[in-house]
Structures are given as C-alpha cells and as structure tokens.
Amino acid sequence: MKMVPPAPANRPNLEIYADAEALAHCCLELFCDCAAEAIQARGYFYTAIPGGKTPRRFFELLGGTTEGRLPAWDKIHLFWSDERCVPPDSAESNYRVAAEAFLNKVPIPEKNVHRVLTELGDWPLAARRYEQSIRDAFGPPTGQSPHFDLIILGMGSDGHIASLFRGSCAVLDKKNLVAAVNSPNVSPADRITFTPALLTAASAILVLITGMEKAQIVRRVFTGPPNEIDYPVHVLFSVLHKTIFLLDAPAAELIHST
C-alpha cells in the first residue's frame, strides 16, 4: 500500500506529531493522497470516518479544502465506522458532527454520503440495513468483505475502536460486517459499528490518538501482550502492515517512538 510506509515486521507503525494540529494536517495529507490514488486506480474512493473529539480538527480542515486540493468529491463514498443510536440531528450523532464540520461545506453528492439510518429505532435492523448499504455501494458481491480504501478511527481511553468495546461479543464477530451493540458503560449505550472483519479488510487504516489522557492506554496497548477482548484496538494487530497510528506528543508521552 503506497500510502502506508512498511511497518517494522509485526510492530505497530507509530507516527508521533508535536501536537494535535500537526496530526490533523498529516491526516488530511494522507486522506488526500489515498483518495487521489484510489480514484486514479479504480475511479472511486471508499472511506469511513469515526466519531469522537479527536478527528474534529481534521474534519474542519477537510471542510476548508479547495476543489483543486482534494479529488472530485463526486468520486468519494463516505461511511462511518460507527454511529450512536440517536437521531441524525442529535448533538451526539457522528453524522451531524461531520455534517457541520465539513459535509455541508463540500460538494459531495448526497447519494455518496452513507449514514446509519438511526431513525429506524430497531438497532439490529439498522445494522443489517447499513451492512447492505455498504455491500450495495461496493457493487456486485465478490464473496469477500468489501475493501475500504481508507478507514479512519479514534481510540478510547479504554482501548476501544469504533464501537467495539471491552468484552463486547462484536469483537469476536467473524460473520457480519456491521453489528448493533449495547455497551452500558458508555452513553449512548446503543451503537452501530463496523466489525473487525470489515475494519481489517481495509487497504489502509489510520488511528488518531491525541491528548495526555490517552498516554496510559497508549503505553498499555503498545507494550503489553495483544488481548482483543480487553483492548479491542488489538484487532488491528493482525493488519499492522497497513495501519498507521498517528499520535501527538502528549498521547505518546509514556512510550518511546519505534
């Protein structure tokens, strides 16, 4: 994968930036490079973005890109790696956060914005519908998981990614691409999430981790033995060759860059 520099064998590919602003600019560069390559090679760029606070500066930068800087928006298919089971106009909605930060500012066709239909109110149904919308967007079934060109994730202070939380059976879901989960330790508890099968099928994965509040979990997940149930971010340790962890210095404070 041209965009992702080769990681040392079986070691996480960590890139450390002075601060969250520098990290957001790097994320924008990687996003644009990946988009340009995918569109040139295959005509379209399939990507998924996370919720949470970490990607918001990247989203703002994305909203400020001029047409010349970013490839044609009509060639980009946008999904969410997870969504909270709240109405799309809720302040907690990952879709609404992205819409306000960049979607409402760029000429991406509405048909290319694939949000989770959280107005359904039936979360397993919403997960099945979202999975079908992913399959439909990728075209005729190939018998394999659809390969996103780029999936961007954050990581929680407990080591979760997307809405794959500690102890969740969705972490072990090998059958579905999308799952409905209920995690009483977070609010809102009901979420729709990509499963590891879909995440790890991507051609490239970026995990954005910023802030000193993440320093402890960064040390734990990058120095301890892989344990997907306790630290779902470890599902990515099977695909380190196509994953880059972007950290700012405060988040990386307790580890040495590799």
Edge to edge, the sheet with strand 190-194 lists 82-84, 190-194, 178-182
Tokens 């400020």 — which residue? 64
Residue type, 95: Y
Quick check: 197 and 174 in contact, CB under 8 A?
yes
For ligand 6PG, the closer of residues 94 and 145 by Cβ is 94
Report the interhelical angle of 94-101 vs 56-63 (nearest 10°): 40
Q: Closest separation between CB of residue 142 and ligand 6PG, Å?
A: 27
Provide the minimum distance between the beta carbon of 66 and ligand 6PG in the complex, in angstroms, as a whole number: 27
The token pair at 139 is 């075209």
Name the residue nearer to ligand 6PG (CB basis): 52 or 63: 52
Contact criterion met (CB below 8 Å) for 243 and 5:
no
Q: Which is nearer to ligand 6PG, 75 or 96 (CB)?
A: 96
Q: Residues interacting with ligand 6PG, by CB under 6 A?
A: 50-54, 82, 84, 94, 154-156, 160-162
Smallest distance, Å, CB 179 to ligand 6PG? 14
For residue 10, give the 3-state DSSP assignment.
coil
Measured from the CB atom, the residue of 75 and 217 that comes closer to ligand 6PG is 217
CB of 210 to ligand 6PG, least distance (A): 8
